[in-house]
Chains A and B, each alone.
Chain A
């Protein structure tokens, strides 16, 4: 066990730090889930990252990356959040679909999709859930019917993150009409501006439109847009979900920066808060550290050739619950100001904690609800029998 960074890793950290200090926008960008303008501002940031070859450091150089390992990715993320850089509007693409494409895509598919993903030219939405297929994802009914060298997509997707402004979506479709449940599903990409696609934004609890419904009426895409073999969609989706929950969806640095800000907020109001708040603040800091150490542990294992397992599920439960607790602690420090919207003259920077609190409440639901994660832990890690 060696918990020292190498000289090379330290040099890499300095390189990221210098670039971020020179390039991170001075003022925060407007939300990418509220207006086209905010979305495009984030796309411009993705392009700037790509020009510095910082879009996705773990990807091969041929797709705009640097071919770095997961420890270096963690260092990059630490410096990224330390610098207060914008959230990644293309996270569905770069963190979820990207690694999956790398593993299951043909060379032609990788060349077609990965480069445009890394550059920010194509921003991705996910299209997994349907009105009757949420936690029970294998109940999807949307179909992809083969017609020559094209698929004809038909169906109704929902809770599709980023779909309001994104360019492309990837989703699960039933390619075998006779199939049941997990069999006969395929993972297929479609442009969100294709004829027959209608996107209906869904206003969220915070008023933004971070997700949408997608109605597909005879949408034609080439079979080239299918990832993996026909009927292999479920297995590939689960691999994608593993990446999502496991490591990349929520990098530890995000929570460590939030914990630092929470401690700063606590210090600023130390004299006026009730005594129990201190313990809550310390708990948030400890949890952020625990999450970071756990991810370093997993990353070390993966770098050495290991596979991600049920820790994808334990991680997801841990960070989502930590995120809520952290924001609740902040709201308790803010006291009567906690209810103020960003626009209230007396709000100061209070509003961002409230926004963050709302978003944290989605954490135990998206990327597979925490109830599903607990089933996975119980069955795959502890070996308890299925219901």
Chain B
């Protein structure tokens, strides 16, 4: 029992964190927004060079075979930076899904090499994110799991409130697609994709929450009213402390959920759902607190808080809305073992 990240896990995160603090600053985001381009090519090429695309893909399929717990802090850093490019969905969800369904597919090899990205169309999500820049789409529906080259799919943009999210309604003809699995086999793979998607959405939301608090703290130290920094007043301090408490108690759920993800049972799924719920709440509270602390500036386009508010709105329902996740928690609470000896339930069940 050692609930700490290893040095290697911290290292993976700090590589991503450092790169993004360098290349994903406010000015970079605003330049990309003004250009209306899909990606910051310089940043994306640096991200591709890190070679993280295959991080979570099994080594037998050509990846690194990392676990969710090895990647979760890096994903948190992507949320903290409001990263526009699809590192999280590509490496965290799409490629593990494609690798499980079609380990020998040529498109997987291209994706692992960083030549293309893959976007996932999942029954949990209304639309497909970053479909236009992807080389291929993995789509799950009532008829099974399909692989479609992007050129063979019909995409209709659905503008998101988040200026950096590129959502598309996707249509394709089964004749143009490869069926990777029938509905029965697709179901377990789609469940696993949902678990990863929800976990990594939660991780991004924790990062978003912390960024909002950090932005507000920086402003509250700088902004003076009544002759003092506004951050010296308790009315401001206490709001920020309350948001930080929310974050502090979302993190351990997130990290434990990452560690137990491979168990793929009622207990591990409830923990992922728990993480998603509280991470979304932490992001929501932190974003709204940050707006309040910034005062009128917080309601302006000029201050960055709205980027994070909008990403938080989008991710709250992405990979399962709160009602879905609350129900998964309820299933575990009403159908599983309760009590302090079941915190790490696997042990108790195996005993």
A residues with CB within 8 A of B: 1-6, 9-10, 13, 71, 77-79, 81-82, 252-253, 256-257, 259-260, 263, 267, 278-279, 281-282, 285-287, 289-294, 296-297, 299-301, 303-304, 311, 314, 317-318, 371, 373-375, 377-379, 381-387
A292–B255 Cα gap in the complex (Å)? 13
CB contacts (< 8 Å) of B330 on chain A: these are 278, 282
CB contacts (< 8 Å) of B277 on chain A: these are 286
Q: Decide yes or no whether B333 CB sits under 8 A from chain A.
A: yes
Additional A-B contacts beyond A2-B1, A286-B253, A371-B234 (17; CB < 8 A): A1-B2, A1-B9, A71-B1, A252-B340, A256-B340, A263-B338, A296-B3, A297-B251, A300-B2, A300-B4, A374-B237, A378-B231, A378-B237, A382-B217, A382-B240, A383-B217, A387-B232
Structural contact, B234 and A375, CB atoms closer than 8 A: yes
CB contacts (< 8 Å) of B329 on chain A: these are 282, 285-286
Structural contact, B244 and A289, CB atoms closer than 8 A: no
Which residues of B298-351 have CB atoms within 8 Å of chain A's CB atoms? 326, 329-330, 333-334, 338-341, 343-344, 346-347, 351
Interface size class of B (residues with CB under 8 A): 35 or more
A314–B231 Cα gap in the complex (Å)? 19
Which residues of B115-167 have CB atoms within 8 Å of chain A's CB atoms? none
CB contacts (< 8 Å) of A253 on chain B: these are 340
A292–B274 Cα gap in the complex (Å)? 14
Main DSSP-derived SS at the A contact region: helix
Give the contacting residue for B3; candidates A13, A293, A385; CB below 8 A. Answer: A293
Q: Given A267-B334, A286-B274, check contact A1 B340 (CB 8 Å).
A: no
A294–B244 Cα gap in the complex (Å)? 14
A279–B326 Cα gap in the complex (Å)? 8
A-B pairs, 7 with minimum CB distance: A378-B237, A253-B340, A78-B340, A293-B252, A374-B241, A377-B241, A384-B231
Q: Decide yes or no whether B6 CB sits under 8 A from chain A.
A: yes
Q: Decide yes or no whether B53 CB sits under 8 A from chain A.
A: no
Give the contacting residue for B2; candidates A10, A260, A304, A387; CB below 8 A. Answer: A304
CB contacts (< 8 Å) of B93 on chain A: these are none
Q: Decide yes or no whether B204 CB sits under 8 A from chain A.
A: no
B116 CB to nearest A CB, Å = 32
Structural contact, B2 and A2, CB atoms closer than 8 A: yes
CB contacts (< 8 Å) of A1 on chain B: these are 2-6, 9, 69, 255, 259
CB contacts (< 8 Å) of A371 on chain B: these are 234, 238
Specify which of A253, A293, A304, A373 lies most central, judged by the most chain B CB atoms within 10 Å of its CB. Answer: A293
A233–B220 Cα gap in the complex (Å)? 34
Q: Decide yes or no whether B248 CB sits under 8 A from chain A.
A: yes
Structural contact, A263 and B333, CB atoms closer than 8 A: yes
A108 CB to nearest B CB, Å = 36
Give the contacting residue for A3; candidates B228, B249, B260, B278; CB below 8 A. Answer: B260
Structural contact, A292 and B343, CB atoms closer than 8 A: yes
A73 CB to nearest B CB, Å = 12
A259–B339 Cα gap in the complex (Å)? 8
A303–B1 Cα gap in the complex (Å)? 11
Select from chain B the residue with minimum beta-carbon distance to A253: B340
CB contacts (< 8 Å) of B278 on chain A: these are 286, 290
Q: Decide yes or no whether B256 CB sits under 8 A from chain A.
A: yes
A sample of 26 inter-chain contacts (CB < 8 A) reads: A1-B3, A2-B2, A3-B259, A10-B347, A79-B341, A256-B340, A282-B330, A285-B338, A289-B253, A289-B271, A290-B278, A293-B252, A294-B252, A296-B343, A297-B252, A300-B3, A311-B248, A317-B241, A371-B234, A374-B234, A375-B234, A375-B237, A375-B241, A377-B244, A379-B237, A382-B237
